[in-house]
């Protein structure tokens, strides 16, 4: 594998839960908070039914666009296991990642679920995608090129150490 310490992790945004976390989300929204599917997310004008049924983004066009201009060293779809369990699947032995909290806007739905569900950071980031549907690992020198091609956030970096994700901040 070509992933090295110092490489940058870029996050491609998503528009909702994608395909994971629905059991916990339903428990928080409908059992704990007693909300209705036709209602709105408290404190917003966002309809719950729209948030929960958002169509899963297709990352193929973005990945093809990036891959034509720079070397993609690794990519991981953020599904079950969230930002904690999915990324390490692409890490070579001896490398881990630091994900910088606050480096991308966490959608209001996830903020609400984390707060109302009284979820520890680790649990929220392991269960939900927290607004990042795909990560791409590229060389530090390629970050600017990728940011001109697709909407993404610089969310972390590869570091020497255990094959795991550490949340920073």
At residue 133, the pLDDT reads 97
CATH fold of 8-168, please? Answer: Phosphoribosyl-aminoimidazole Synthetase; Chain A, domain 2 (3.90.650)
- Residue 167 — φ and ψ, nearest 5°? -85, 130
Using the predicted structure, report yes or no on whether residue 112 has a pLDDT greater than 80. Answer: yes
Question: Using 50, 70 and 90 to split pLDDT, how confident is the model at 19?
Answer: confident
Mean pLDDT value across residues 38-62: 95
At residue 20, the pLDDT reads 85
At residue 63, the pLDDT reads 98
Output the average pLDDT for the chain: 96
Which of 49-55's residues contact partners 24+ apart within 8 Å by CB, and which partners? 51/16, 51/109, 52/16, 52/17, 52/22, 52/25, 53/16, 54/15, 54/16, 54/17, 55/15
Using the predicted structure, report yes or no on whether residue 154 has a pLDDT greater than 80. Answer: yes
Instruction: Look up residue 88 and give its DSSP letter.
Output: G
Question: Using 50, 70 and 90 to split pLDDT, how confident is the model at 1?
Answer: low
For the chain, domain boundaries? 8-168
| pTM across the whole model | 0.95
Within 10 angstroms of residue 8's Cβ, the number of other Cβ atoms is 19
């Amino acid at each position: 594998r070509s992933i090295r310490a110092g490489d940058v992790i870029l996050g491609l945004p998503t528009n909702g839960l994608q395909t994971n976390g629905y059991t916990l989300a339903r428990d928080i929204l409908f059992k704990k908070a007693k909300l209705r599917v036709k209602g709105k997310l408290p404190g917003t004008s966002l309809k719950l039914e729209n948030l929960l049924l958002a169509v899963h983004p297709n990352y193929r066009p973005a990945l093809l666009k990036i891959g034509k201009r720079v070397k993609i060293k690794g990519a991981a779809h953020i599904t079950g296991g969230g930002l904690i369990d999915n990324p390490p699947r692409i890490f070579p032995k001896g490398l881990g990642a630091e994900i910088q909290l606050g480096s991308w806007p966490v959608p209001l739905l996830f903020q609400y679920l984390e707060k109302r569900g009284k979820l520890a950071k680790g649990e929220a980031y392991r269960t939900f995608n927290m607004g990042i549907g795909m990560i791409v690992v590229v060389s530090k020198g390629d970050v600017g090129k990728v940011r001109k091609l697709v909407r993404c956030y610089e969310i972390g970096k590869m570091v020497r150490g255990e094959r795991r994700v550490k949340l920073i901040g």
